Amino acid sequence: MSTIYAYGPLGAGHVNPTLGVVTELVRRGHDVTYWAPRMFEDRIAETGARFEPVTSTWERIGGGPPQMHGKELIRAMGLLLDETAAMVPALADAPAPDLVLHDGTLAWWGRVLAHQWQVPAVETWPNFVGNEHWSMNAYTRINPVDPRFLWQMIRIARYLRGQGIGDVGAFMQGRSAAARLVTIPRAFQFAGETFEGWDFIGPGLTEREFQSDWTPPTGGDPVVLVSLGTAYNDRPDFFRMMVDSAADRRWHMVLAIGDQVDPGLFEDAPDNVEIHERVPQLAVLRHADAFVTHAGMGSTMEAIQYRVPMVALPQMAEQRANADRIAELGLGRTLSPQRLDADTVWAAIDAVAGDDVVRDALARMRDESVAAGGATRGADVIDRVLTGT
């Protein structure tokens, strides 16, 4: 039995993909302690790991974790550094583990702590990764001589030198990790065949008892889930449009409005619409015939798992990449969130739900996802790191 410390940031899309791997590690007898914000306590406790709460500096800024793409990148770099500088001293007094498991995109403190303890780190990457053949630079443009960018790089380099880490580029890309687990199948990754040094394990979804409480309607109407995720969902105009246009349609709509929109705006919703702040997404997707989604990677992988055709409405750069891949692979359709009307959205819902070609593409991608190995393969990689084999 080995002692493993896991670290997750303030972001459901970065914690949820780790749950299957952690569950499998506990099942194999490893002693796993998972530090994360308290909002994730129930889902982490369900894995069998020991949960330890942390307070994120991002809780004060609202809107979820910073996004490492697009116009937010420079600001996000500063927020990531601030979060890392706060987390490291709060976590460093624990006895050294045998291995650190952490989110590679946002939980930089896992890299710093593993370096301090001189133990191997395994990173989880719940998003597209980049190399010389494909990168998110296709979706964002950063001026490398922008004074704000240079200042953040100076701040990061200064902090890392203070921690005994000299190679800033290697640090930010996770190249010092003993293994990097990408929780999507290689077939979904742009230019996936060109990537070496990454383990594409697929999503490795768990049953998630914390998301199991939902009963489908009894009338037999098809179900469409509508959700813009947990961060970029302050869209009362869009939700109002969907509610107003749902009456007299053949669909039962499950609408997740998030915590930034007043549910009182929808007290007059028709009988075929149910409105929630958050929904047990896996439970709904098991019965859904279509999914109107922000195209977050977690939601995309979950839709593939249950072979639910998608109508993608990306809200930021990373989601635009995901949405483009959804369309490219024939897993659904992509609409511009800036130019929407109700008829366009409903036409897309009807089209993808009735398209056998989309269903076949989803079935093939689900097979790829299952073949990637999921939680079992992720735990196998970690065991090999632990044993040095």
Q: Is the pLDDT of residue 233 over 80?
A: no
Cα–Cα distances in angstroms (integers) from residue 174 to residues 112, 115, 193, 272, 308, in the given order: 11, 12, 20, 47, 33
> 333 pairs with which residues across the strands?
311
Six-digit token pair at 345? 């959205």
**Rounded average pLDDT over 347-367:** 97
Least-confidence region, from 68-82, 83-97, 252-266, 351-365 = 68-82
Using a pLDDT cut of 90, give the percent of the chain over it.
74
Give dist(CA 89, CA 187) in Å, integer.
40
Provide the residue ranges of all domains of the chain, joining segments of one domain with +: 3-204+373-387, 209-369
Cα–Cα distances in angstroms (integers) from residue 357 to residues 223, 299, 311, 352, 366, in the given order: 20, 21, 15, 9, 14
Phi, psi of 375 (to 5 degrees): -65, -35
**Rounded average pLDDT over 123-146:** 88
Q: Is the pLDDT of residue 234 over 90?
A: no
| pTM value surpassing 0.75 | yes
pLDDT at 214: 85
Q: Is the pLDDT of residue 232 over 60?
A: yes
Give dist(CA 362, CA 200) in Å, integer.
18
Using a pLDDT cut of 70, give the percent of the chain over it.
95
Which residue reads 């819902």 in tokens?
349
What confidence category does residue 329 fall into, taking pLDDT thresholds of 50, 70 and 90? very high
pLDDT at 347: 97
Single-letter amino acid, residue 214: W
pLDDT in tens, 58-99: 988 765 566 666 567 788 889 999 999 999 999 999 999 999
Q: Is the pLDDT of residue 17 over 80?
A: yes
Alpha helices (H) in the chain, listed in sequence order:
12-15, 19-27, 41-45, 73-91, 108-117, 147-162, 168-173, 236-244, 281-285, 297-305, 317-328, 342-353, 356-371, 374-387
Task: Give, in degrees to the nearest 5, the angle at Cα 128 between 64 and 381.
Answer: 100
Give dist(CA 325, CA 332) in Å, integer.
10
CATH of domain 3-204+373-387: 3.40.50.2000
Q: Is the pLDDT of residue 256 over 70?
A: yes
Instruction: Please give the DSSP secondary-structure letter assigned to residue 264.
Output: G
pLDDT in tens, 155-170: 999 999 999 999 998 9
What torsion, rounded to 10 degrees, do the Cα atoms 174, 178, 181, 187 define? 90
**Rounded average pLDDT over 297-318:** 94
Single-letter amino acid, residue 273: V
Q: How many CB atoms lie within 10 A of CB 215?
A: 7
pLDDT at 387: 96
Q: Is the pLDDT of residue 236 over 90?
A: no
Q: Is the pLDDT of residue 322 over 90?
A: yes
Report the phi/psi class of residue 190: left, alpha or beta, with left for phi > 0 and alpha for psi in -120 to 50: beta
Give dist(CA 46, CA 16) in Å, integer.
12
pLDDT at 213: 75
Phi, psi of 232 (to 5 degrees): -105, 55
Least-confidence region, from 102-106, 128-132, 275-279 = 275-279
Single-letter amino acid, residue 274: E
pLDDT at 379: 98
pLDDT at 205: 84
On the CB side of 332, how many CA atoms lie within 13 Å of its CA?
32
pLDDT at 139: 83
pLDDT at 365: 98
Q: Which fold has domain 209-369?
A: Rossmann fold (3.40.50)
224, 284 contact by CB (below 8 A) = no
Sign of the four-CA dihedral 120, 65, 296, 284: positive
Q: Is the pLDDT of residue 217 over 90?
A: no
Give dist(CA 64, CA 70) in Å, integer.
16
What confidence category does residue 259 fall into, taking pLDDT thresholds of 50, 70 and 90? confident
**Rounded average pLDDT over 267-284:** 90
Six-digit token pair at 208? 């998630």
Give dist(CA 188, CA 149) in Å, integer.
31
**Mean confidence (pLDDT) of the chain:** 92
Least-confidence region, from 9-23, 41-55, 178-192, 222-236 = 222-236
What confidence category does residue 212 fall into, taking pLDDT thresholds of 50, 70 and 90? low
Give dist(CA 367, CA 376) in Å, integer.
16
- Nearest alpha carbon to residue 280 among 208, 355, 200: 208
Q: Is 3-204+373-387's fold the same as 209-369's?
A: yes
